[in-house]
Amino acid sequence: MRRIGFLLPTVLGIAAAALGPLASSCSAQETSPAPEVYRGMCDASAAVALDGKTFLAADDERNVLCVYDANRAGLPRQEIPWDVHLGIDPREDEHPEADIEGAARLGGRIYWITSHGRNKKGKWRANRHRFFAITVTSGENGVVARPFGKAYRNLIEDLVEDEKLQGLGLAESLRSGEKEVEELAPKEEGLNVEGLCATPDGKSLLIGFRNPRPDGKALLVPLMNPAAVVAEGQAPEFGPPILLPLGVRLGGKSFALGIRSIAYSPRHKAYLIAAGPHDTQKVFAVFRWSGRRDQRPALLAQSTAAIHRLKDFSPEALIVYPEGDAIQLLSDDGALKVKVASAAECQEGTFESGACEAKYLLDDKRKTFRSLRIVP
């Protein structure tokens, strides 16, 4: 697959005809807020605010939840291993990662969803099929997370079989009966969940897909009974699918984007969406959506330009805080190269020309991800 890169002047100097308001509101002379650098993980893939001062984040390479200070970057305050509650034994399982991709607060709980996709070679990985919830309390000894119910493992199969969701390409992008299908890797044509969001009525969740994109539109599927699914093992009840046009034009090319992260902001009275490609192209955008099926999401031009002014910033998590207008975007920086002194600092076979990708560093404290605060 051909990877398309964009030079910084190209992105910042987009013609008005190419991206409408983005071109008229931003220029190459503008500067973006400086990103903050957090440590202890590099593949930041899902996060939710615990309060106005802390957030809880997951790394799609490790089954660990990390508590971070929202106002001071650095190492996590606390790490909470979650293998046991996912039914995974990393000592025995050759492929233990659950690939957590989305998080949402609803009804006093935090729900999490994994990618439900194959690995990068198109191989089926059962541990990536988890939908689970936790309760969180804070005290003098830090954050205490407890499982709510039991991790559910059949969500995506139930979704594929639902009569309301036929014709969306879900079954074709999953093909659950086949152990290895190269073209169904997540960055090719395979199914990939990346977003999870609570609805403002406090009753249901929206599941956001990076892929497939039916008719070039991003797919959201309402989950109406999340508590019953994890607490009682009830079959999921899905609402009618929602298809959103999340298209942008950059450098004279059109891109149909999928969901990377989505959250509802009570202050903005709207959903905020971090959108991106299903493959490796570095094309990202931020949208605002009213929640009405008959209304198109609006491109947030300045926020989108702020992302593209940063080198290789890949927003995978969007955090809305209870106070203030700013939101926080977290970048999945696992593929960024890190200079090392020797191959001994990296996983075997990943060292090349004095560096390795961040996700292959053996010392987790050296792993980093960036955070960008913007006002949508």
Cβ distance 47 to 54 under 8 Å?
Answer: no
Measure the CA–CA gap between 350 and 345, rounded to whole angstroms: 10
Provide the 10 A C-beta neighbour count for residue 152.
Answer: 21
Cβ distance 197 to 183 under 8 Å?
Answer: no
Q: What is the mean pLDDT of each run of 10 residues along the chain (376 residues)?
A: 33 37 43 86 97 95 95 95 95 94 97 97 97 94 95 97 96 95 96 98 97 97 98 97 94 94 96 96 96 96 94 95 93 96 96 96 96 94
DSSP state for residue 295 in the 8-state scheme: S
CATH code, 8-29+44-302: 2.110.10
Cβ distance 361 to 350 under 8 Å?
Answer: no
Residue at 245: amino acid letter? P
Provide the 10 A C-beta neighbour count for residue 46.
Answer: 28
Instruction: Evaluate the omega torsion of the peptide bond into residue 212 and state whether it is cis, within 30 degrees of 0.
Output: yes
Q: Are strands 62-69 and 54-59 parallel, antiparallel or unpaired?
A: antiparallel
pLDDT of residue 32: 64
pLDDT of residue 326: 93
Measure the CA–CA gap between 225 and 2, rounded to whole angstroms: 41
pLDDT of residue 31: 57
Distances (CA, A) of 11 to 15, 137, 283, 310, 333: 9, 43, 10, 11, 20
Structure tokens at 236: 């999921």
Instruction: Please give the radius of gyration of the chain, using alpha carbons only, rounded to the nearest integer.
Output: 20
Please choose, from the candidates 88, 1, 108, the residue with its C-alpha nearest in 3D space to the C-alpha of residue 100: 88
Burial of 246 from C-beta contacts in 10 A (0-12 / 13-18 / 19+): buried
Cβ distance 243 to 214 under 8 Å?
Answer: yes
Place of tokens 């919830």: 133
Helices (H), the chain: 8-12, 16-19, 21-25, 155-161, 170-174, 226-232, 301-308
Residue at 102: amino acid letter? G
**pLDDT tens per residue across span 177-226:** 899 999 999 999 999 999 999 999 999 999 999 999 999 999 999 999 99
Structure tokens at 308: 């593209």
pLDDT of residue 20: 45
Which residues partner with 100 through β-bridges? Answer: 114
Distances (CA, A) of 272 to 19, 211, 249, 305, 320: 19, 19, 19, 16, 9
The domain segmentation of the chain, as residue ranges, is 8-29+44-302
Report the residue count for the chain.
376
- Cα 123 to chain center, whole Å? 21
